[in-house]
Amino acid sequence: MPQGEGRTPLDLDFQILPMSRSDEATPLRRPTPTTPALAITHAGTAGSLGPITGGARSTHNTPPHTGGLFPSAQAVLTFLAVATGARLSSEAVRVRRGPDGLWWAEIMVPWHIAGILVNAAHGQPYTGLAPLWRAVPTDGTPAQAPVSHAPFDGTILLENPDRTLRLAPADWSDATVRDLIHATPLQPVTSEERSIAEAVIITTGTLGRACLRRILGFDCETTVAVVEREPLNDAPPAPQLGTPPANQPLGALLIHLRWRGGYLSPSCLAYLHGLFYLPSTMVARAVDLTESTPRPPHQPDHGRLLVDLRYRSLLAMSLVASLVPAGESWLLSDAEFGQWRLRTVSRPVAGEDFVIPSSP
């Protein structure tokens, strides 16, 4: 997925939370319909230290943050998703996108805990507080966090044994979780990966009625709901699904189907792949927070990640799904179909109840 151009550091529909200045540990935030599962605070002052937002706690009174320099958006997402899934932190203080595909991220967890996760995600861990950071030795040797009393002007300094890197705002722009997901490429699925138990169709009302009649013939359990959709990021227009007017989401029909026999039959999958040739229609696989007990993606109590049926992500999708705000679904596809946010605006009904019987 190519990165969008002209993206501003802050996305209006992504809540940027203020960073707490308390030194007391606070419980992990639970997602609500208006609160992302992972918040990026983009704190702007030096020396401000927030709480450790999980069960782990350092023996120090004011432990420094952990920062990481990563070679790709995929590596940052893996780090943040694992930190969130492991209940170490529900907030990232700062995420920045730099030149040459490099990314910077920092969380409010001590380096001797989170630095291990940075290494595991192919990153270089650092310890400190903005603006000054020091590289953590790869052999686990204790690292002394640098101290800086200079005002934070937005430039981050990374001290390494051989040089100091400068992450100036002009070259390193603030980013959100959606920017990270948008910058992570999708890969075409192979024939061995096409077995799925459920799928989601996003289409118009007229086409949805025709799709339902055919799908019910495959002995599938179906539910139907009305959703609003709008671009996930300031990405180029998607020719297949259209571009909504400014500040005005588009309505769509969401059909969730699951085959009663376990996996969708080959004939049903072939039909679903053929739907991509219809206008304003796409098909996706649902990634659940708990893959052992899949649930429909339109349920409002938790977020969902939907991936184009023809692709797979290089990420651990069950972990990334935990970063999606509650009450939303994020739909990921290629440049032809785009990336979208979906919000359910109706209660789901059974597909059988939605289809009007034909006259005898």
The 10s digit of each residue's pLDDT in 262-292 is 788 889 889 999 999 998 899 998 765 434 3
The 10s digit of each residue's pLDDT in 181-206 is 888 888 888 765 667 888 999 998 88
162: left (phi over 0), alpha (psi -120 to 50) or beta: alpha
Mean pLDDT on 100-128: 91
pLDDT at 16 over 70: no
Q: According to the model, what pLDDT value does residue 139 have?
A: 73
Mean pLDDT on 86-95: 77
- Which is more confident, 151 or 274? 274
Tell me which residue has tokens 């209660």: 347
Q: How many Cα atoms within 13 Å fall on the side-chain side of residue 313? A: 29
> Which percentage of the chain shows pLDDT scores above 90?
25
The 10s digit of each residue's pLDDT in 95-111 is 999 999 999 999 888 88
Tell me which residue has tokens 């990634």: 287
> Which percentage of the chain shows pLDDT scores above 70?
66
Alpha-carbon gap, residue 95 to 40, rounded angstroms: 7
Report yes or no: 56 and 50 within 8 Å, Cβ to Cβ. Answer: no
pLDDT at 168 over 50: yes
Alpha-carbon gap, residue 70 to 102, rounded angstroms: 6
Total Cβ atoms within 10 A of residue 93 = 23
At 324, the pLDDT band (50, 70, 90 cuts) reads confident
Q: According to the model, what pLDDT value does residue 64 have?
A: 74
Q: According to the model, what pLDDT value does residue 250 have?
A: 83
